[in-house]
Structure 1
C-alpha cells in the first residue's frame, strides 16, 4: 500500500486474526448484555471484553509496517508474510512432544494427586523442558503459578477442586 511517497506493508494474516477475535469479543459482550445487565452476569465478561478491545487497538497499528525502498525490490518469495516455517530440528520436535505429554499427564493427574500438586509439577516440567536450569527459579515460579491458579479458580469458580496441600 502506498500513501504519498511512503510504502507500507500490511500483515493481512495478523490483521484478519485480531479482527476476527475482536469481532467475537464484541459479539459475546453484546450477547451477555442482552441476557442481563446485572453485576453477577457481567462481572468478568465486561471488563475482560473492554481489555481485549483495548489490546486490539494497541495491536492494530503493528499490522502496518513502513517498507524501505530496498525491501520493495525483494522477490515476492522473500517478503511473503503468510509463509510458515515449521520447526524441523529434532530437538524442537522432541521439546514440543515433551510439552504435550506433560500437559496430558497434568490433566490426567488433576484428580489423582490434586490440582495443586499437578499444576506445580506441570509448571516446573514446562520450565525445565523450555530450558530453565536454575532450581530456585523453577521452584519459586512454579509455586507462584500454583498459588495464583488455585486461589484464582476458587475465587471465580464454585467447582470443588480436589487439592492435596492447599
Structure 2
C-alpha cells in the first residue's frame, strides 16, 4: 500500500510540475492580467495549497482503488484523468484556448464524478477522498467559464 501511495504521489506531482511550467509565468502575463476574472477568484496562494491537498488525497484514493480488480480499466481512467489535468494548463495559459480549456476541465470534472459514483460500492468511505478534487474542479470550471463568457 505504501509503495502505491508513493507511486501515485510521484505521478500526481509530476503532473502538477508540468502544469506549473505553463502557469507560473503566465499568471503575471499581460494576457492573463487583462482578463475580466470572476469576482470569486481566490488569491494566487490558494491554488498551490488546493492542488497539494487534492493530489495527496487523490494519491491515497488511487492507492485504494488500485488494490482491487479491473486494473486495466482503472489504468485507462487514471491516464485520461492525468492527461486532462496536465493538458488544461497549456490549453488555457499557453495557447489561450479558453473554450478548449473549458471543454477539457468539464471532461475532467465528469471523469472525477464518474470515479466517485462508479467505485463508491467498492471503496465506500475512501471515496470521500475525491471530494476536494471534485469541489475544486467545480470552482475551477466556473472560473474558466466566467473568463470565456465575460472576455
Alignment TM-score > 0.5, same fold: no
Choose between structure 1 and 2 for higher RCO, CA contacts under 8 A separated by at least 6 residues: 2
Larger radius of gyration: 1
> Hey, which of these two has a bigger chunk of helix by percent?
2
TM-score by length of 2: 0.29
Q: Which has the higher strand share?
A: 1
Question: TM-score under structure 1 normalisation?
Answer: 0.28
